Amino acid sequence: ARSGLAVATAAAPAAVESKTGERLTVVYGSQTGNAKRLAEQLAAQAEAAGLGVRLLRADAYPTRELKGERLLYLVVSTQGDGDPSDDARGLVDFIAGKRAPELKGVHYAVLGLGDSSYPQFCAIGARLDARLAELGATRAFARGDADLDIETVSGPWLQQALAQAKDTLKPAAAHLATVTPLRPIAPAAPTHHRDAPFAAELIGNRRLIARASSARGAVAADKDIRHIELSLEDSGLHYQPGDALGLWPRNPPALVQAVLETLQLDGDAAVAHAGQTLPLRQWLGEKRELTKLARPFVASHAAHARSDELNRLLAPDQSASLAELLSRSQVIDLLQRYDGAWSAEELVAALRPLTPRLYSIASSQKAVGEEAHLTVAHVEYESELGLRWGAASHQLASAEEGERLPVFIEANERFRLPADGSRDIVMIGPGTGVAPFRGFVQDRAADGASGRNWLLFGNPHFRTDFLYQTEWQAALKSGQLHRLDLAFSRDQAHKVYVQHRLREHGRELYDWLQNGAHLYVCGDATRMAKDVHAALLAAIAEHGGRGAEAAEDYLNDLQQQGRYARDVY
Ligand code: 2AM
């Protein structure tokens, strides 16, 4: 449940350093909102229990106050390959670094969030946990490492955290003066949220790029990118440009059928699990992850299939091979490749709960009213054993007008247009990363913002992959878009990416930044965002006449000011 609690930001009344003693501090680092949600929940419960609490986003945490903490809880996520969330970067560096103070007398506990299909599962939580102990702080209780089925681990951890806080701290009443109030900003919690989604009607579903059709054997666009429009009418839901839409997907019925057939299980059989009884088909279609594979299921299936090959993959020295398997396989691949018998009950218990998928919203309500638009890459490919899909993207791509889909809004406070419309913005969004920038440009146009808008977009081919081509060209013509630089990677012998365009126009980029521009990056996290980051550093070094370290300081400073924001996945 959403609390109406706001985060004490850097602008909130500063706590008096010497009086942090009888207060609980909850700090979160969150990329997609899960860590934030849990931290808010914990802070609200502690506050309801009469304890003094302050809740801070990691980048608003005054690190000089670390050594004065009595009880500190960190709720932090790990991104893909072992990186912190953008908001926790500074805090993680500080705690890991040489300037971190001795922390004798500080009690703490860490809840890590992550995705066990990556080898560096919950690495940031683990690193902070170990380092705080090294600095002399006392671990109040064991770290939790929550996987995508977050609640399994976060539930007990939060309970323990609350109990520990009650034991350690005196109620706040006697210490009111020392408490930083949690300022409510949202007057009422929205009716619809993650745990109570809105059934939104699909009102538009069109292909954005042409699939190969030409008899002349022209470039084959093997990708199916969709422009999806959903109605939020009567939902009470509102969003800001930069926010994401959460969708509770269901698995493709053909995939559920394939699992049932492979395991020779009856889809109509009633299965009871965790206090709920549903037909197996419904468990698999609506409640369990089938399109993602994680280590725990591989381990269970290794036992069910008595497979030496799978058991070998689970050995510590095989982690690279296991990671490779996890990244290119689904549950069905494992079941089909390694014969093993499962009962319906065991299967439901072993599979992870289905989790919502987030899509950056590609529209502004100032332009589209009670609609939300999405740019969706339909994941569909032929594997050795048959056709495979991504759950949410396949559901969206195959949805017909009039169908209703369970959705909610996930706010993304770190990816916001400048409050001052006269600021310039630079938007770097290759592939479907362009989505939020369509919303940005719509919003600035509706506001009559005077700042300039510069978009850098890239994709394989001009002819087939120029997403929203006519809209961008119209926006250029009408003056809503001021610069458009394109990187079609496969239209020439050598690859051209958005970061190459950044370097080519490094001088202008630097001038824009010096002039107060805000920078945004959206799209692929593992390769693109890292390469773009490096290109930004290089451009700043070259055109700002700075050394590598000074360029890094410059970019860090932009990030601190909220002028370098990323929405990468
Ligand atoms: P490629 O697939 O031709 O290599 C959207 O996916 C676009 O991003 C594609 O044109 C893709 O090019 C490109 N891309 C791939 N790797 C990238 C990287 N490291 N940095 C920037 N763009 C990249």
> What are the tens digits of pLDDT across the range 72-129?
999 999 987 789 998 999 999 999 999 999 999 999 999 999 988 788 899 999 999 9
Q: How far is the CA of 435 from the centre of ligand 1 (A)?
A: 16
Give the pLDDT score at 219.
Answer: 41
Compute CA 222 distance to the chain's CA centroid, rounded to the nearest angstrom: 26
CB atoms within 10 A of CB 477: 9
268, 341 Cβ separation under 8 angstroms: no
> For residue 353, what is the DSSP state?
B
Pocket test of ligand 1: the residue of 489, 503, 533 to mutate, having most ligand atoms within 8 Å of its CB, is 489
Q: Is 252 helix (H, G, I), strand (E, B) or coil?
A: coil
Give the pLDDT score at 210.
Answer: 63
CB atoms within 10 A of CB 336: 18
Q: What backbone phi and psi angles, to 5 degrees, belong to 57?
A: -70, 145
Task: State the pTM of this model.
Answer: 0.83
What digits encode the pLDDT tens for the residues 197-213? 999 999 999 999 765 54
Give the pLDDT score at 221.
Answer: 44
Any ligand 1 atom below 6 A from CB of 489? yes
Give the pLDDT score at 4.
Answer: 40
Any ligand 1 atom below 6 A from CB of 528? yes
Q: How far is the CA of 497 from the centre of ligand 1 (A)?
A: 6
Using CA atoms, how far apart are residues 431 and 375, in angstroms rounded to an integer?
A: 10
Using CA atoms, how far apart are residues 26 and 110, in angstroms rounded to an integer?
A: 10
Q: Is 258 helix (H, G, I), strand (E, B) or coil?
A: helix
Q: How far is the CA of 291 from the centre of ligand 1 (A)?
A: 24
94, 59 Cβ separation under 8 angstroms: no
Q: How far is the CA of 427 from the centre of ligand 1 (A)?
A: 16
Q: Dig out the tokens for 220 from the structure.
A: 């084959």
| Percent of the chain with pLDDT strictly greater than 90 | 84
Q: How far is the CA of 221 from the centre of ligand 1 (A)?
A: 14
Q: In the chain, which stretches have pLDDT less than 50?
A: 1-19, 174-179, 184-186, 213-221
Using CA atoms, how far apart are residues 144 and 152, in angstroms rounded to an integer?
A: 10
Give the pLDDT score at 116.
Answer: 84
Using CA atoms, how far apart are residues 168 and 156, in angstroms rounded to an integer?
A: 18
Give the pLDDT score at 182.
Answer: 58
Pocket test of ligand 1: the residue of 497, 536, 569 to mutate, having most ligand atoms within 8 Å of its CB, is 497
Q: How far is the CA of 330 from the centre of ligand 1 (A)?
A: 24
Using CA atoms, how far apart are residues 468 and 55, in angstroms rounded to an integer?
A: 41
Phi-psi region of 361 (alpha: psi -120 to 50; beta: other; left: phi over 0): beta
Amino acid at 202: L
Q: Which residues lie below 8 Å from residue 129, measured CB to CB, with a gap of 6+?
A: 110, 112, 139, 143
The angle that helices 435-447 and 469-478 make with each other, rounded to 10 degrees, is: 30
Amino acid at 486: L
CA-based nearest residue to 224, from 30, 16, 467: 467
400, 202 Cβ separation under 8 angstroms: yes
Any ligand 1 atom below 6 A from CB of 527? yes
